[in-house]
Amino acid sequence: MLQDLDVRIVAPSCEADLRSEKFIEAVPKFLQSVCYKFPRVPKFIAEKRFVSLLSGFDAAYLFPGCSQRLLESLAKSDRPVFMERINCHTGTGKRILDEAYGRLGLAPQHGVTAESAARETEQLNMVDFVFCPSLEVVKSFVEAGLPSEKLIRSSYGWSPDRFPGLADEQSYDEAKPCTFLFVGYLCVRKGTHLLLRAWEKARLNGTLVLCGNIEPAIEQTCGKILSRPDVIWRQRSPDVGRCIGKRTYLSSLALKKAVPSSPTKPWLTVCRCWCRRWVPEGLRGMK
């Protein structure tokens, strides 16, 4: 039973209300102001703490961004190592992003290289199993040479309890204005340019709210749409939950994820197949 699992989560730091016996903050609070002046130090401390705890557990579960040093340490243990991947393989992502910037008439600005793609493949070959949140992510890893038997399909969800302003049931009614919310870095990789262009063509009765820092490429190519009165950009919102009301729909398009992270209502996305639930193709939206 899941409730019988003994789990420990190790992170460099966390919010005060999350600290517990099962959620370990590796960098003590009194040292954080010093450690975070050196970008690699918090990660190093967290990984050392993680390895020190491993002897009391049966398996290791890693999130993206761990070091080669940690993977080498875990490879010496006799415990299975699981790694979670959110996006498709870096090599596939590079091709997708190169094409996306090209369609905008811009040189690629994502910083992904063939060397980083090869490094990801090497790291994934060092673990036993990889969780993939969509079929397209699985395909990208197979294309990169990973054996399909180590790739485990998974999915993401969300907790409505974190957003008490939401109604249980929502449906789009063009007679009533709605708010469509995008939260995250407003960049080509997140498909923000596609969302803005879809919004311009859809002519919906509502407001598009964007919360997050913005990539210069988006301002350069979509500046006219960003200046529309029905588009609001908030560079930072400390409490995203307060932005979500009873007639708010979450908007998402991440080019490297291939599908929405949480295909659960209320969710408006310009990804293929999911969009048909909300937007008539060719009338108020586009594929």
- Taking only the tens place, the pLDDT of each residue in 183-224 is 888 999 989 999 999 999 988 888 898 988 999 999 999 999
Model confidence at 240, pLDDT cuts 50, 70, 90, reads low
The distance from CA 134 to its chain's CA centroid, rounded to whole angstroms, is 13
Model confidence at 3, pLDDT cuts 50, 70, 90, reads low
Better-predicted residue by pLDDT, 181 or 270? 181
Model confidence at 42, pLDDT cuts 50, 70, 90, reads very high
Better-predicted residue by pLDDT, 253 or 89? 89
Arithmetic mean of pLDDT over the chain: 81
| Residue 77, pLDDT score | 87
| Residue 220, pLDDT score | 95
The 10 Å Cβ neighbour count of residue 256 is 23
Q: What is the C-alpha to C-alpha distance for residues 222 and 25, in angstroms, rounded to an integer?
A: 41
| Residue 127, pLDDT score | 95
Mean pLDDT value of segment 158-168: 62
Global confidence as pTM: 0.76
- What CA–CA distances, in Å, run from 187 to 12, 122, 214? 27, 28, 6
Q: What is the C-alpha to C-alpha distance for residues 192 and 225, in angstroms, rounded to an integer?
A: 11
| Residue 238, pLDDT score | 58
Q: Where are the domains of the chain?
A: 2-153, 160-277
Q: Is the pLDDT of residue 263 over 50?
A: no
Residue % of the chain over a pLDDT of 90:
49
| Residue 271, pLDDT score | 32
Q: Is the pLDDT of residue 274 over 80?
A: no
Among 195-199, 224-228, 232-236, 278-282, which is the least confidently predicted range? Answer: 278-282
Q: What is the C-alpha to C-alpha distance for residues 206 and 111, in angstroms, rounded to an integer?
A: 35
- What are residue 273's phi and psi, to 5 degrees? 70, -45
| Residue 119, pLDDT score | 93
Per-residue pLDDT tens digits for 99-126: 999 999 999 998 899 999 999 999 999 9
Q: Is the pLDDT of residue 265 over 90?
A: no
Per-residue pLDDT tens digits for 119-157: 999 999 999 999 998 888 999 999 999 999 999 998 876
